[in-house]
């Protein structure tokens, strides 16, 4: 990556709040904050931004249930929780996480019965989706609580989402497979130490 591109990433941080703009129109979202910290950390250039200010912004996005949203006051969602927890991990500020409350909320994302038994959803009262095998498990792995999920039931659900003839994974059993859900199914299986898969870094 060219030096000017690195500086472009750093320049996206808003000095007052510590968050990052996602585009030239000024859209803000914790996804952009995580993406910026992740990219800069891989290049060992976190010193170009105010990491503590970014961590404090993430902390403002924490809800009473322990989860995180796209911005302060926004609804908790498993995918947003991942970007917030991973950003705090990069910032070295996991001390800001209410671990028990958050991991309790995440463990409740596992469907207990019915056709989607064992699968995970992104929010209460929503259907299971194989992509949450990554979004939920990654946060639990970062916080060392992956054992709060029924591993066997989740592995069974993920494998039911696979097309036995053509390969690939769908969002739920019987649906059309696609690259997006295949990626997250395999990432989830990796976090579950499924045989034959290499370990993936949850951050």
Q: Are residues 122 and 60 in the same domain?
A: no
- Other C-beta atoms within 10 Å of 44: how many? 7
Q: Return d(Cα 156, Cα 158) in angstroms, integer.
A: 6
Contact call for residues 198 and 192 (beta carbons, < 8 A): no
Model pLDDT for residues 55-110, shown as the tens digit of each residue: 999 999 999 999 999 999 999 999 999 999 999 999 999 999 999 999 999 999 99
Structure tokens at 85: 């927890």
Q: Are residues 116 and 139 in the same domain?
A: yes
Q: Are residues 93 and 104 in the same domain?
A: no
Domain range holding 16?
1-97
Structure tokens at 1: 């990556």
Structure tokens at 98: 């209410």
Q: Are residues 86 and 104 in the same domain?
A: no
Phi, psi of 18 (to 5 degrees): 90, -5
pLDDT at 2 over 60: no
Predicted model pTM: 0.93
If one counts the domains in the chain, the total is 2
Contact call for residues 98 and 61 (beta carbons, < 8 A): no
Model pLDDT for residues 140-184, shown as the tens digit of each residue: 999 999 999 999 999 999 999 999 998 999 999 999 999 999 999
């Amino acid at each position: 990556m060219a030096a000017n591109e690195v500086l472009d990433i750093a320049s996206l941080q808003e000095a007052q709040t510590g968050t990052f703009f996602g585009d030239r129109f000024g859209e803000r979202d914790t996804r952009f904050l995580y993406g910026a910290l992740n990219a800069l950390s891989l290049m060992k250039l976190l010193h170009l931004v105010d990491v503590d200010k970014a961590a404090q912004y993430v902390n403002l996005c924490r809800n009473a249930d322990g989860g995180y949203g796209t911005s302060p006051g926004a609804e908790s969602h498993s995918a947003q929780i991942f970007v917030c927890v991973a950003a705090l991990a990069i910032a070295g500020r996991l001390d800001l996480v209410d671990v028990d409350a958050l991991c309790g909320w995440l463990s409740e994302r596992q469907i207990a019965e019915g056709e989607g038994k064992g699968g995970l959803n992104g929010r209460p009262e929503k259907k299971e989706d194989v992509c949450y095998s990554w979004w939920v498990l990654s946060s639990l792995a970062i916080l060392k609580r992956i054992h709060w999920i029924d591993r066997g039931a989740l592995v069974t659900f993920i494998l039911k989402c696979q097309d036995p003839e053509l390969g690939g994974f769908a969002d739920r059993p019987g649906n059309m497979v696609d690259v997006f859900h295949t990626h997250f199914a395999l990432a989830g299986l990796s976090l579950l130490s499924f045989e034959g898969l290499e370990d993936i870094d949850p951050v």
